[in-house]
Chain A
Amino acid sequence: MTTWLIILAVSIVTFLLRASFLVFADPHRFPHRFRQALTFVPPAVLAAIVAPGLLLRDGVLDVSASNERFVAGLVAIVATIFARNATAAIAAGMSTLWLLQWLGV
């Protein structure tokens, strides 16, 4: 019973956060500065999501060439810039990671 209450409550909360501005606000009334700030949401949030996946190992910062995920992530960034598509990023990143792990660098 408690589990179902939590499931329902969490679902309502996640929906309300998603609906907040999109359903209940009028963007034509957003102040100019606010609209400007919103254009930085995609690069800022996505970079914040990516960072720990590349540089944290068990919660510890590892900025070294022996951090395979960091190296593979850099390769994926370069691949995305040149190929401009997600498949290239994933293929380049995963194959680099597997290669480095196989080599045991």
Chain B
Amino acid sequence: MAIPTPREEFIAGARAITPVLLGTIPFGFVAGVASVASGLTPVEGMALSILAFSGIAQLIVVQLIAANSPILVAIAAAAVVSLRHLMYSAAISPYLAHLSPRWRALLAFLMTDQSMAMTPMRFNEPGDKSNRHWHVLGTSVTLYLVWQATVLIGIVLGAQIPASWSLDFAVVLTFIALLVPTVRTRADLAAAIVAFGVALAAAGLPYRLSLVAASIAGIAAGMAIELARRAPREHCAGRR
């Protein structure tokens, strides 16, 4: 079979991310509306979105700017809500380590929850892997452009979609769609269930620290099951 060209991989990546965009669109809209509502100018709101490219960080930061918080507080809050990116960075690095620093910096800048979930899935498929970073780029660039467009629409329209439409739930549903295929073994399932439970138990923590606590607990649970089995069936990220 012919090796997929960079262009084919890019287009396949863009296609693969398309259903997930159904959740990105209302989220981006909300982030745009929030930045205007917090008193940022349209240019400031777009700059934050273009440079930081993180829905949760954008929402938190505009709230803190509105509250006249000190710079260090805003930076610390953005760092804490983005701690999961540290884990994502480690999780996808084995698949992308062969790339040039420039490529890795580009894919890091464009990293999202979605690309973190989809990168291992694409790389674990059979076949030639040499152009698969273009698949990651295709998913990432598509998501980036759609995100910026929807933030812009939120900033320009500035109005809320009626809450009764419950479009915010589409965000949760896209995360369910990303989550389910990542659960392939019993250890994965244990990681998901424990993280789910701890996220609820720790929900009172500020700055979404519950997300960090839950993630670490989930990873520990997955490792515990993996080690308890002792079976030497390898399950390593980036095994080539």
Per the bound structure, the CA–CA distance linking A101 and B162 in Å amounts to 14
Does B130 have its Cβ within 8 Å of any Cβ on chain A? no
Which 6 pairs across A and B sit closest by C-beta, in order of nearness? A44-B218, A53-B172, A40-B222, A86-B19, A86-B177, A11-B51
Chain B, interface size: which category?
35 or more
Residues from 1 to 45 in A contacting B, C-beta threshold 8 Å:
2-11, 13-15, 17-23, 25-28, 30, 32-45
- In the bound complex, do residue A22 and residue B172 qualify as a contact, i.e. CB atoms below 8 Å apart? no
Q: Separation in Å of the B151 CB from the closest CB of chain A? A: 14
Per the bound structure, the CA–CA distance linking A56 and B64 in Å amounts to 24
Smallest Cβ-Cβ distance to B90: which chain A residue: A21
Does A65 have its Cβ within 8 Å of any Cβ on chain B? no
- In the bound complex, do residue A86 and residue B178 qualify as a contact, i.e. CB atoms below 8 Å apart? yes
Interface of B is mostly: helix
Given contacts A49-B211, A73-B176, contact A37 B71 (CB under 8 A): no
- In the bound complex, do residue B97 and residue A47 qualify as a contact, i.e. CB atoms below 8 Å apart? no
- In the bound complex, do residue A94 and residue B97 qualify as a contact, i.e. CB atoms below 8 Å apart? no
Given contacts A23-B108, A73-B173, contact A36 B89 (CB under 8 A): no
Residues from 159 to 180 in B contacting A, C-beta threshold 8 Å:
164, 166, 169-180
Residue numbers in B under 8 Å from A76 (CB-CB)? 173, 176-177
- In the bound complex, do residue A86 and residue B174 qualify as a contact, i.e. CB atoms below 8 Å apart? yes
Does B122 have its Cβ within 8 Å of any Cβ on chain A? no
Smallest Cβ-Cβ distance to A15: which chain B residue: B109
Does B183 have its Cβ within 8 Å of any Cβ on chain A? yes
